[in-house]
Structure 1
Amino acid sequence: MAEKRPIWTKSFINISVSTFFIFVVFYALLTFTPLYVLNDLGGTATEGGLAVSVFLLSAIIMRFFAGMILEKFGKKNILIFSLFFFTVSTVLYVFIGSFTVLLLLRFFQGIWFSLLTTVAGAIAADIIPPERRGEGLGYYGIAMNLAVVAGPFLALSLQPYVSSQAIFVILSVIMIIGFFCALAVQVDEGSFVKEQKHKLTISDFLEKKSMPIATVGFFISFAYASILTFISVYAESLGLIKAASFFFVVYAIAMLLVRPFSGRIFDTMGPGVVIIPSIIVFGIGLISLSFTASSWMLLLSGALVGLGYGTLLPSFQTLAIQAADKHRSGYATGTFFAFYDSGIAIGSVSLGLLAGFAGYSNLYLMLGVFVILVVFYYSWIMSKDRSSAQQ
């Protein structure tokens, strides 16, 4: 029996730590920026939402060009270049003086965040031994999932005690550490294949082989937008705002408990054994939210969402990368996150309108049923893929 090649190499540890810091800053700013607009810039809630949306807009647009840029300039170059400008843009928050400048900075930073997260995911996938990619990307995904808790917790814990500028300085220091971690990442681009010049086609922007699983990711992230955007508002309407602060803590604990096993099962028994139960558990978590009337029910829902959704993101990313040729891992990662980010952005807007019409309880019930139905779409996608492979 061949000895398993290691996942936890120096480069993998450094790219994972750097990614954790990137997403800590991302989620901290996502949570804190609307408060900053209201309290420091004298803006409105609508302007606070716009400051979030403009970042996502530039990030989504750049996803479609990320694969082409990685192919032209190389992954290590883009990692360092984009991380440098993401770090610089974080430092610039300290000097903001107006809402217009903030919008421009948010748009500028979204560009580099998009490139950065695309190339970091592609590099992580390349570093991991192919036979352990499900397990390895599962561990890599922990960095992003933990940041969902750590980022908002850091910003909201500091906000009552220090100035906004002090928070921006702390986030800048975090990014500088993340930048130096990335410098230590070694990228093997010896098998790098540069395609000949040709007329632009969809393949220059997206990886067609990764699009089917990316659409599944879109539907799941669309539903997950209801958690990111409305969970605190829903909990406040139920008089459970104190318990809501622990929602993502329970989510993270549940995710951490299952992650070491789910990745190994993915690699040894196949993706369906992990993905189908995870989609169902995520759907049940959303349905349980719709019936929540107490703190323990809210936290139970958080655990179910963590068990389900926390496993799906790295699983989908693994399938997207495995579907593509090795030298197009950047295109595959960019394609997946273009669909994923679009689901979050579209869900944040459209589900807010639906919640205003139907109420949050009914919204989570409908989304829970919707997510469970995604199982049938995923099964159809995979059966088509198997049929194509056999031909």
Structure 2
Amino acid sequence: MQQSRLWTRTFTLVCLCSFFVFMNFYTLATSLPIIVAKHWNGNQSHIGLAMTVFIVAALLFRPIVGSLAGVWSPRALILTSVIFFLAASLLYPAVNGLLILFVLRFLHGSSFGMASTATSAVAADLVPASRKGEGIGSFSLFTSLAMVIGPFVGLSVTGSGNPSLLFVMCGAFSVAALICAVLAGLPVAARKPAASGRAQRRKMTWRALIEPAAVPISLTGFFLAFAYSGITSFISVYADELGIASSASLFFVCFAALIVIPRPFVGKLFDRIGPNILVYPSVVVFAAGMLLLAFAHSVAVFLVSGAVIGLGYGILLPIFQTIAVQAAPAERSGLATSTYWLLLDTGFGLGSILLGMLAMHTKYSGVYLTSSAVVALTALFYYLLHHSADKRKTPTEAVKTVSHHP
């Protein structure tokens, strides 16, 4: 599926499909805690469970979709997952209690794991080998935009006190994702799997669901997601605790600005100079932003922390995904993508649980102080799991790592 240029019609529509899938996710992720608390009389543990059930379901289905990426056609892979995602999204207005909500969150999480993995795997396969950093960075920019616009929309709508309107909007995002998938002109033929891939599927070993080469950098991403989960899950209630609830949506506007501005340059720099020079400063910036957030006692500091966090996290996430894809053989790039998101989801889910438990015994400032320390440790894990191993490669091995991709 190699293209001579990056921004083809198919690649652009796959990016937009992913954008609407993540708009659905992030709109609900930041707004659902308020709805659970105010409309269904839930407590902090119920809020955490609503997110955890979703993430666990996504975890279960990501490896399955990753293993199908080399067997099913891109069109079948994306359309099937997005239709399932749409069906789950349309059921939210029928929820009338916490038990039904948790069941639906599992179904929705399953479909999200399928749709987000399918779009990521197909998009990575569409990017020319010489532009992997730029291409995956551009694709992830759409995810990052949804990461910002979704919470802004969700918190704004939730503030009106009408959760039904929020659910209708999320359904509309899912419809838009399906329209993009249908119009993308995706290939209807599957890539012929390598002989080794067929043998692994027959044996049903763990390698049929996980790409070992992508695990080290994905484990590093696990800690990023763990720390970031506190932003998505608790930023609205933290702003309320500080007495600046009206500024919660503006936090994501500042976050967005510092994700979008440097992204076009970061991908090109990655392709030219590699990841290491970019990763360590970005970890420092991300940790500093979390530290600022922990000690925010004014609107100004609260919003500046959002901008600083956006700069660090926005650079690190696509870099780690690019490394994961480049580490794997071409025919297993879909598995590499699903492995990466599998561990990110695990970090996000555990973060929602453990940081939520911490929030029950301390103020939310303690949550973000802990997150800052976790982010700082990411630099150490990056060095141990990726950088030091990469330095031990011979020049020939280093060339193969990049050159064997479509």
Fold shared per TM-score above 0.5: yes
From 189, 192, 195, the equivalent of 2:198 is 195
**Which segment drifts farther, 216-225 or 381-390?**
381-390
Letter in 1 for 2:180: C
SS in 2 for 1:246: helix
1:305-340 CA distance string (max 9 Å, x none): 011001111111111011001111111011111110
State the distance in 1 between where 2:39 and 2:356 align: 26
- Counterpart contact for 1:232–1:241, Cα < 8 Å: yes
**Partner residue, 1:53:** 52
From 250, 267, 289, the equivalent of 2:271 is 267
State, as a whole percentage, how many aligned pairs show the same letter. Answer: 36
Report whether the alignment pairs 1:91 with 2:90: yes
Q: For structure 1, list consecutive stretches of 5 or more residues without a partner in the other structure.
A: none
State the shift of 1:191 in Å. Answer: 5.1
Q: For structure 2, list consecutive stretches of 5 or more residues without a partner in the other structure.
A: 398-406
- Counterpart contact for 1:252–1:306, Cα < 8 Å: yes
From 338, 355, 358, the equivalent of 1:354 is 358
From 214, 223, 226, the equivalent of 2:227 is 223
- Counterpart contact for 1:287–1:368, Cα < 8 Å: yes
CA change 1:41–1:291 in 2 (3 A) is closer
- Counterpart contact for 2:220–2:378, Cα < 8 Å: yes
The alignment of Structure 1 onto Structure 2 pairs a total of residues equal to 388
State the shift of 1:378 in Å. Answer: 1.1
CA change 1:360–1:175 in 2 (3 A) is closer
SS in 2 for 1:73: coil
Letter in 2 for 1:158: V
Query: Normalization by structure 2: what TM-score?
Result: 0.88
The residue correspondences of 1:209-288 to structure 2 (distance < 5 A) are 209-288=213-292
Letter in 2 for 1:345: G
CA change 1:254–1:328 in 2 (3 A) is same
State the distance in 1 between where 2:227 and 2:121 align: 25
1:38-67 CA distance string (max 9 Å, x none): 555565554444333211111112223232
Report whether the alignment pairs 1:77 with 2:76: yes
**Partner residue, 2:375:** 371
State the distance in 2 between where 1:111 and 1:277 align: 35
**4+ aligned runs moved over 6 Å, structure 1:** none
**Partner residue, 1:21:** 20
From 307, 317, 320, the equivalent of 1:316 is 320
- Counterpart contact for 2:33–2:233, Cα < 8 Å: no
State the shift of 1:85 in Å. Answer: 1.1
Letter in 2 for 1:167: L
State the shift of 1:156 in Å. Answer: 2.9
CA change 1:124–1:355 in 2 (3 A) is same
State the distance in 1 between where 2:236 and 2:30 align: 11
1:323-358 CA distance string (max 9 Å, x none): 001111111011111110111111111123334445
1:243-267 CA distance string (max 9 Å, x none): 3321111010011111111111011
CA change 1:277–1:38 in 2 (3 A) is closer
State the distance in 1 between where 2:365 and 2:161 align: 36
1:145-204 CA distance string (max 9 Å, x none): 111222222233233557433432332222112101112332474454352254232211
- Counterpart contact for 1:265–1:273, Cα < 8 Å: no
Report whether the alignment pairs 1:146 with 2:150: no
CA change 1:38–1:357 in 2 (3 A) is closer
State the distance in 1 between where 2:258 and 2:44 align: 33
1:56-92 CA distance string (max 9 Å, x none): 1111122232322333433321210010111111122
Letter in 2 for 1:100: L
State the distance in 2 between where 1:377 and 1:160 align: 40
State the shift of 1:207 in Å. Answer: 0.4
State the distance in 2 between where 1:39 and 1:374 align: 36
Letter in 2 for 1:383: S
State the distance in 2 between where 1:103 and 1:362 align: 28
Report whether the alignment pairs 1:335 with 2:339: yes
Query: Normalization by structure 1: what TM-score?
Result: 0.91
State the shift of 1:103 in Å. Answer: 2.4
**Partner residue, 2:402:** none
CA change 1:180–1:245 in 2 (3 A) is closer
Report whether the alignment pairs 1:301 with 2:301: no
